[in-house]
Amino acid sequence: MNRLATTAALLLAALCTVPAQAATITFTGNESDFTTQGVSPIQDDGIDTEAFCGGNPLDIGKVYVTNDATNLYIGLQYARACFCDINLVWAFHTRPGGTVVDPFCRAIDWSAAPDAPDFYIYDVVPTGCNGYNYEVLYEANGSGGWNTLQDGSNGLGIVDTDGGNFVEMAIPLSRMNLGCAPGNTLDVAFEIGVTQEGCSKPAFDLVASDPEQRSTLAGTCFDIGPCAPSMPREYLNYRIDCPVPALGTSWGNMKALYR
Q: What is the CATH classification number for the domain harbouring 184?
A: 2.60.40
pLDDT tens digit sequence for 4-54: 333 344 444 444 565 556 899 999 999 999 999 999 999 999 999 999 999
User: Does residue 253 have a pLDDT over 60?
Assistant: no
Nearest to 232 by CA among 218, 212, 248: 212
User: Does residue 128 have a pLDDT over 90?
Assistant: no
Q: Which pLDDT does position 73 carry in this prediction?
A: 97
C-alpha–C-alpha distance, residues 79 and 81, integer Å: 7
Asked whether 120 and 189 are in contact (CB, 8 A), the reply is no
User: Does residue 171 have a pLDDT over 90?
Assistant: yes
Task: Indicate the number of domains in the chain.
Answer: 1
Long-range contacts for 45-50 (Cβ within 8 Å, ≥24 apart)?
A: 45/205, 45/207, 45/210, 47/217, 48/205, 48/210, 48/213, 48/216, 48/217, 49/204, 49/205, 49/213, 49/215, 49/216, 49/217, 49/220, 50/215, 50/216, 50/217, 50/218, 50/219, 50/220
C-alpha–C-alpha distance, residues 234 and 225, integer Å: 24
Q: What is the pTM of this model?
A: 0.87
Domain containing 98 equals 3-258
Average predicted confidence (pLDDT) for the chain: 88
Q: Which pLDDT does position 21 carry in this prediction?
A: 66
Q: pLDDT grade, residue 207 (50/70/90)? A: very high
Q: Which pLDDT does position 80 carry in this prediction?
A: 87
Long-range contacts for 144-149 (Cβ within 8 Å, ≥24 apart)?
A: 144/99, 144/100, 144/101, 145/99, 145/101, 145/103, 146/99, 146/103, 146/120, 149/175
C-alpha triplet 135, 139, 143: angle, nearest 5° = 135
Average pLDDT over residues 215-227: 98
Q: Which pLDDT does position 251 carry in this prediction?
A: 31
Q: How many CA atoms lie within 13 A of 1 on its CB side?
A: 16
More confident call, 243 vs 174:
174
